[in-house]
């Protein structure tokens, strides 16, 4: 039989406890920086837990919109992207939103009428913003025209052409 004894003091135990707490805090900080895939290396505020945060999200791109959503619906990000959804995911990825980590997950889509789209300022109900929100965070979305042959693009405000 092998017996090993260690002589220790309260100060050594306290120092060990402080070191363990420091390691746990460091791990929590690292995990906290990577828990939101949509927000990686971005200055874009992607918080969307409430109406004010969703309004702030759209406003940071210069959009003016009706305060009440036209529609709020639950959607499932497809597990396998079709050709159309692959293009949609690529558009979002180019804008800093990666939908890949959300495949197969339920999200909410918040839809708002846009009021200041260039060329449509006097028309309502033609241009909408769709925000895909998962766990209080915008993970993607678009600005789209409801007209036949309309358009769809990322959240960026279009450049004014003279």
| Domain chopping of the chain, boundaries | 43-153
CA distance 35 to 38: 9
Tens digit of each residue's pLDDT (9 = 90 or more) over 120-134: 988 889 999 999 999
- Provide the token pair at 63: 């959009």
Which pLDDT score, from 0 to 100, does residue 44 have? 86
Q: Read off the tokens for 50.
A: 């409430």
- Show Cβ contacts of residue 14 under 8 Å, excluding neighbours closer than 6 positions: none
Q: What pLDDT is stored for residue 36 in this prediction?
A: 42
Please enumerate in sequence order all residues whose Cβ is within 8 A of that of 79, keeping only pairs 6 or more positions apart, or say none.
Answer: 103, 104
Q: Are 125 and 112 spatial neighbours (Cβ–Cβ below 8 Å)?
A: no
Return per-residue pLDDT of the chain as tens, 162 residues: 666 565 766 666 655 555 545 566 556 544 554 444 444 445 889 999 999 999 999 999 999 999 999 999 999 999 999 999 999 999 999 999 999 999 999 999 999 999 999 999 888 899 999 999 999 999 999 999 999 999 999 999 998 654
Q: Residue 6: what pLDDT?
A: 59
Contacts 24+ apart (CB under 8 A), 97-104: 97/38, 97/138, 97/139, 97/140, 97/141, 98/37, 98/38, 98/40, 99/132, 99/139, 99/140, 101/37, 102/37, 102/77, 102/134, 102/139, 103/77, 103/78, 103/79, 104/76, 104/77, 104/78, 104/79
pLDDT of residue 122: 83
What pLDDT is stored for residue 26 in this prediction? 54
Condensed to tens digits (0 to 9), the pLDDT of residues 61-86 reads 999 999 999 999 999 999 999 999 99
- Given this model, what pLDDT does residue 118 score? 95
pLDDT of residue 39: 44
Phi, psi of 148 (to 5 degrees): -65, 135
pTM over 0.85: no
Cα separation, 15 vs 156, whole angstroms: 52
């Amino acid at each position: 039989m092998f017996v090993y004894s260690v002589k220790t003091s309260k100060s050594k135990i306290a120092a060990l406890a402080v070191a363990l707490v420091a390691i746990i805090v460091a791990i929590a900080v690292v995990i906290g920086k990577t828990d939101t895939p949509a927000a990686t290396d971005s200055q874009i505020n992607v918080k969307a837990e409430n109406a004010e945060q969703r309004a702030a999200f759209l406003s940071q791109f210069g959009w003016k919109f009706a305060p009440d959503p036209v529609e709020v619906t639950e959607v499932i990000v497809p597990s396998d992207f079709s050709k159309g959804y692959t293009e949609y995911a690529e558009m979002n990825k180019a804008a800093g939103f990666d939908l890949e980590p959300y495949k197969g997950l339920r999200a909410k889509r918040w839809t708002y009428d846009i009021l200041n789209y260039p060329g449509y300022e006097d028309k309502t109900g033609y241009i909408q913003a769709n925000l895909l929100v998962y766990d209080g965070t915008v993970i993607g979305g678009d600005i789209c025209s409801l007209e036949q042959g309309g358009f769809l693009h990322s959240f960026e405000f279009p450049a004014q052409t003279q």
